Amino acid sequence: MPMICVVYGCSNRSNREKSKSFYRVPKIVQHKGAKCKEQTKKRRDKWLANLLLSFGGAESENARVCSDHFVKGRPSALKDVDCVDWAPTVDLGYAHPYQPMSEASRRRCERLRPREGERRRCDGAEAPLELEADPVTLEDQQGKPYAHLFGHAFISAHF
């Protein structure tokens, strides 16, 4: 099975790009002491933040990042915290990860919230009207009753 880069918009695969290297999202090292555990947790969190990955997507053993996303082509050592390659930083599939929402966008979201709730209430109000239809009055063109499915029980229109 080929390795695929998890960066949004990156289509590098190990079976096509033989010259690329692929690196796993770092795990938290539990067995080497508290300092190492803390440092590996910080590194993993930095990778996830830079890649905009949720924890569910990166938990896979197959979550990999290709060498295109590092300045030097590979991640730096765990102890080299100040290096730019401590976490992937190049071509991560987004322009500005933490761009604050503009005032106009915030107001638009506030206006849309009540409208969405109103739509849900209207859709919910129409549903009981459909359920009130009398199944006995529904017959086909020859006057034979239709059979109807209500819930999980199959009921004929004539009793």
- The 10s digit of each residue's pLDDT in 69-116 is 888 888 888 887 888 888 888 877 776 545 556 778 778 777 877 766
pTM of the model: 0.53
CA distance 17 to 36: 34
pLDDT of 15-43, one tens digit each?
887 888 888 888 888 888 888 888 888 88
Show the tokens assigned to 23.
């690196």
**Could you identify the residue written with the tokens 């067995």?**
31
Instruction: Return the SS3 of 13.
Output: strand
The reported pLDDT for the residue numbered 89 is 82
Show the tokens assigned to 115.
């409208």
Count CA within 13 A, CB hemisphere, residue 103. 0
